[in-house]
Amino acid sequence: MKSSIRPGRSASSIGQGLELHGRMRHQIVVRAMHEWKIRPVSVPELARFMRHHVYRSLEDLGWIHTELADYLAEVLVRFAKTENLFPWSSVNRQRLAYLVDYLTEIAVQSEGGGSSLKQERALRQQVGDFSLFMSGIFRDFVKSKGILDFYLEEGSESYRRTAELKRRLLEPGAGRFDDLAEHFDRLSGALDYTCRVYFRSLGAKAKTPGV
């Protein structure tokens, strides 16, 4: 898997991914401004917009889970910022723009003994969030590359590992990540539905090199 993905990691492809993310954020913000009559859109107002459409999507699909719906909306708002979707690696100071980059980051930190349990938990949660976002919002692209199952499996496993680490750290909220792991496929599908139905212009045009 690594050999087939990593050669495409170049400055130009990262730049293309960042440009795409900028267009995606612009489309969502413009839609929010139009729907809520807001100028400009603040973070709380964007959160309200995202939550509204995530709830509508889950209602349409006949499945309501308030806590997970709120988390989906949080992920969408957080990833509206480029630095959250493509953070900098602590290993080589390049952006983590591919799922394999995150897995490499985890492996290197684990082998070198350079990460604490809290750092591993944060990175595992980020892997779950990134996998959920990409497999939902950019499902057509991920599916066209034949790696949808890879995203779904890694995302679910990362949330499961996040729950385990939270328990070891005596942090609250482990149960939510158990639920995210259990329902990962369904939540990813819900994001795909949200994109297609409520962000249709985005869903029709979305393509990204970051896999």
Tens-place pLDDT, residues 31-73: 443 443 444 557 888 899 899 999 999 999 999 899 999 999 9
**Res 40: pLDDT:** 53
CB-CB contact of 159 with 166 (8 Å): no
Structure tokens at 191: 């994001």
Length of the chain: 211
Phi and psi for 210 in degrees, rounded to 5? -80, 95
Q: How far apart are CA 53 and CA 21, in angstroms?
A: 20
**Res 166: pLDDT:** 97
**Res 133: pLDDT:** 94
Helix axis angle for 148-168 and 184-198, nearest 10°, is 120
Q: How many CA atoms lie within 13 A of 33 on its CB side?
A: 10
Place of tokens 């100071």: 93
C-alpha 134 chain-centroid distance: 6
Place of tokens 């970051």: 210
Give the tens place of pLDDT for each residue, 1-17.
333 333 344 444 444 44
CB-CB contact of 9 with 97 (8 Å): yes
What is the pLDDT confidence band of residue 209, given thresholds at 50, 70 and 90?
A: very low
Cα separations (Å) of 196 from 188, 189, 199? 13, 11, 6
